Amino acid sequence: MTSSPEKLGAKDELCMEIDPPLGENLATAEDWRKALQKVVPAVVVLRTTACRAFDTESAGASYATGFVVDKRRGIILTNRHVVKPGPVVAEAMFVNREEVPVHPIYRDPVHDFGFFRYDPAAVQFLSYEEIPLAPDAACVGLEIRVVGNDSGEKVSILAGTLARLDRDAPHYKKDGYNDFNTFYMQAASGTKGGSSGSPVIDWQGRAVALNAGSKSSSASAFFLPLERVVRALSFLQKGRDSFQDKWEAVTILRGTLQATFLHKGFDETRRLGLQSETEQLVRHASPLSETGMLVVDSVVPGGPAHKLLEPGDVLVRMNKEVTTQFLKMESLLDDSVGQNVELELERGGKPFTVQLPVQDLHSITPNYFLEVSGAVIHPLSYQQARNFRFQCGLVYVSEPGYMLYRAGVPKHAIIKKFAGEEISHLEDFIRVLSTLSRGARVPLEYISYTDRHRRKSVLVTMDRHEWYAAPEIYTRDDNSGLWIGKPALQAVSKQSVNGVISMETSSKTERDQDESECGIKKRRVTEDGPKVDNHEDPRSQEDAILRDPHGSVAEREIEPTLVMFEVFVPSSCMLDGVHSQHFFGTGVIVHHSENMGLVAVDKNTVTISASDIMLSFAAFPVEIPGEVVFLHPVHNYALVAYDPSALGAAGASAVRAAQLLPEPALRRGDSVYLVGLSRSLQATSRKSVVTNPFAALNISSADSPRYRATNMEVIELDTDFGSSFSGVLTDEQGRVKAIWGSFSTQLKYGGNSSEDHQFVRGIPIYTITQILEKIISGAKGQPLLINGIKRPMPLVRILEVELYPTLLSKARSFGLSDHWIQVLVKQDPVRRQVLRVKGCLAGSKAENLLTQGDMVLAINKKPVTCFRDVEDACQALDLCDDMEANLELTVFRQGLEIDVLVGTDVRDGNGTTRVINWCGCFLQDPHPAVRALGFLPDEGHGVYVTRWSHGSPVHRYGLYALQWIVEVNGKPTPDLEAFVNVTKEIENGEFVRIKTVHLNGKPRVLTLKQDLHYWPTWELRFDPDTAMWQRKIIKSL
């Protein structure tokens, strides 16, 4: 307190004028010490986790404060925004660090207070007393202390003086929780985050208010008055005593007119047209301290007061009594639920009377939600209806999840129409949802509060793969404090049950999926049918599409082979450090036959195999899904398959594969055509000149390791179309020499900040033709189902070592002999370079054999100067069918020339095909980008945390990404199988001890509490036999 004595004196006088002196400012330091000694043990730190986004709150973990208001029954008072309207898991920590689980028993629909219950017997080592509530003790000038977990400091005590008792309720957010229809108190006590729910106490140790919010720009704190809290608490206490030995839900009646009032001074009401006689009457009937009247501020559409009350109406009487205070109005409404009240008001000086029915507030506060494809959808609550000026009960998207995000439906959207049916209740939405099969595409219309007068129409694609659990409805159960989940789509006919819902039966699901997919394909084909049935040759139509008088020969040749990609990554499968959920890019068709089409595209468009890919063809207006069939482990490209029959007869003939020309390789000064697609699927081309046909890439590792192109030589041009334009490089006849692909990188700035960027370079086509031949002619790897035909996929033999070129002039300074320099110049007179080792991938066969700085001079006695020489040497080993084949490397190490036998690794092109979600963290095998950092923990490295979910146990206890779990409860977990076996034994609500090792090698032990109710353990696996991602529950309640 930095106030000067005069100010305190002035406040003293102020207090005397308003209230007879109660002597509170005469409280001595000793009095405060005694009061705080009594209060502090009853104040608890609340650690709350909102498991799902719901209504005004998003999912997440946070700290706050609460205090014991009933010790015998075990009731803790805190704010509504701490109890949360949706599913919450919480525990209270007392001042002696004892932790007890707490369960929500009441959250007020409007005001910022709520109650948790706990088991009083669980607190064994602390003596504490409940804090009595004294709403009447609050007065201006009262000296107070705010005791709570301010800024997460467990206990902090802030001093202040109550300055106002009639402040408007604070406005926090335009799309979040706000309190209204009540006064707040204000004091300059400077509370910050974490002190929500703290008691505001006087020198006698009584709570006179509840801390709710603060203004960060000033030191003001806002406190909620306790009158309505006392009423609610008495209901809870009576209810608890009427049950024998357990809590059951208690009904606390709350009434509403769905109208918001503000308290305006008499001068303002006069300007609004209040008659002076009315003002005299009101002043006469009210206490001397009354300064104004209640004025209507807003009315929610569709509510009892809609079209009857208007903003600016001044309230005179309710049920024949003059009402100028919120408390009187609220008390009357709460006691008249289901009955009518009579309001006498003045509008612009004209008096009028209305009879309004009082609605039950709890009936317009949702207590259930639908979870589908990661989205949370529920009826629009009174809170948000008031914020957005929509009607209560509309279908509201609290969290868009994956399916709706993919369609472009934002948070806070109101769904109006789905698959052609008007949607006014959540039940309508669920009914339509239950009729849709996997992969179906249906229109959806929504409105948002930011653009409320226009509906927006989008196309929703039902998930084809089992990225998410079947849709569930969660309903709040106030007896247990939990939300109970049930399958949402029960009343569906048997056949679609297998297709849409059942997640555990694999054989049935596959068959039905195949059927439903064929259904879609056939339907598409027939849709395309009539367009061609104009009794003309489909070829002539195709020529009409292509006969653009402008553009080069190359552009005309290549346009029918180009495909625009739109790629989405489900949030449940963001593996391998993928940095975004949405990618665009251009690919080129490299194979197009009757039963298989293959498109090549860069890996900054198709990053991981767990993706939903939509292909749009330049040659024919159709959009069809694609599936990843091959991700090259080193080079920056992926191959994606599509089903040519889905194009229809006209489409299949219009689309064709590009002619690939790997030899001769491009040289500096060659002219090439850069051809690609704009976002509007227009072919765009220009003539460019190759400035550097073999620029070596050097991309540094990102903060969160993800695929980065290494050991690659790329093509640089003099001019291109900017960093987001991808396509192909062709010669004059339109034969493809290279893919013009996008590369992902991360720019790091000072102070730990970084930004994702991309650049484009040419990827020589030879790497693609090698793999393509193997796929078409048959390879040695695992078979994969592509369009109903199983094909063995290629394996790639690689030397898992990261190399970089060094100029021979530099190598000479390091001591490389004249003899070798001449040999290397003779081998490659253009590049004049030698390859040096940057590092080996951890866990590879080359690890510990080569060291950083080695110069690789020759492989199997043949001099090497570029990455392709190393690749060719690895491929030569493939011919001898020896899986364990080694390469003999001649390296120059610290002045000595030595020969080393180095093993090679055989990798497939599947990418990561398995992910496990445990307690909200995503676990996978460490991907190559992690191994490239050169470290794997010795204790075991098969369980790598790649991501985590908001509102999950790992969020709450701090088990974040970029680390390995090496032990669970003292048992080692070297791989995912071992991890599953250990965690299967752990029950719901048990604490688990986990040992982790971070990417930087730092070990750590932490404990977390397993929550199978909201976070069951599941896995997603790619099944090559059905080419589907399948979900399996490993452990749930």
Enzyme catalytic residues: 81, 112, 195
Residue 892's DSSP bridge partners are 855, 897
**CB neighbour class for 663 (10 Å; exposed up to 12, middle 13-18, buried from 19):** exposed
Q: Which residues pair with 900 in a beta bridge?
A: 889
Q: With the C-alpha atoms ordered 903, 906, 912, 915, is the resulting torsion angle positive or negative?
A: negative
Tokens 């008691």 belong to 199
Region for residue 151 given its phi and psi (left: phi exceeds 0; alpha: psi -120 to 50; beta: otherwise): left
The span from the CA of 384 to the CA of 770, in Å, is: 58
- Classified as helix, coil or strand, 315 is strand
Separation CA 746–CA 703 (nearest Å): 8
C-beta contacts of 514-519 below 8 A and 24+ residues apart:
514/788, 516/437, 516/438, 516/439, 516/440, 517/438, 517/439, 517/464, 519/437
Q: Is the dihedral of CA 907, 912, 914, 918 positive or negative?
A: positive
Distances (CA, A) of 669 to 325, 692, 729, 731, 765: 84, 8, 14, 13, 18
Q: How far apart are CA 412 and CA 409, in angstroms?
A: 9
Rg (CA), the chain: 35
**CA-to-CA dists, residue 485 to 213, 257, 518, 1013, 1033, angstroms:** 33, 32, 33, 9, 15
Alpha carbon separation from 812 to 323, 829, 892 (Å, rounded): 95, 16, 11
Strand, helix or coil at 111?
A: coil
- Total Cβ atoms within 10 A of residue 157: 16
287-319 in b/e form (b: 16+ CB < 10 A) is eeeeebbbbbbbbbeebbbeebbeebbbbbbbe
Q: How far, in Å, CA of 302 to CA of 316, rounded?
A: 24
Separation between Cα atoms, residue 601 and residue 592, nearest integer Å: 15
Residue 563 to residues 527, 686, 889, Cα–Cα distance (Å): 21, 18, 42
Dist. CA 823–CA 886, nearest whole Å:
24
Q: CA 547, CA 561: separation in Å to the nearest integer?
A: 15
Q: How many residues does the chain have?
A: 1037
Residue 230 and residue 452: Cα distance in Å, rounded? 40
Upper half-sphere CA count for residue 835 (Cβ side, 13 Å): 29
Residues 892, 419: Cα–Cα separation, whole Å? 68
**Crossing angle (nearest 10°) for helices 326-334 and 227-242:** 30
Q: CB–CB of 1029/1016 below 8 Å?
A: no
In one letter, which amino acid is 255?
A: G
> Which residue has tokens 């192109």?
709
Phi, psi of 712 (to 5 degrees): -130, 135
Q: Are 579 and 699 in contact (CB under 8 A)?
A: no
SS3 (DSSP) at 223 = strand
Write the CB contacts of 25 (distance below 8 Å, at least 6 apart in sequence). Answer: 8, 12, 15, 141, 143
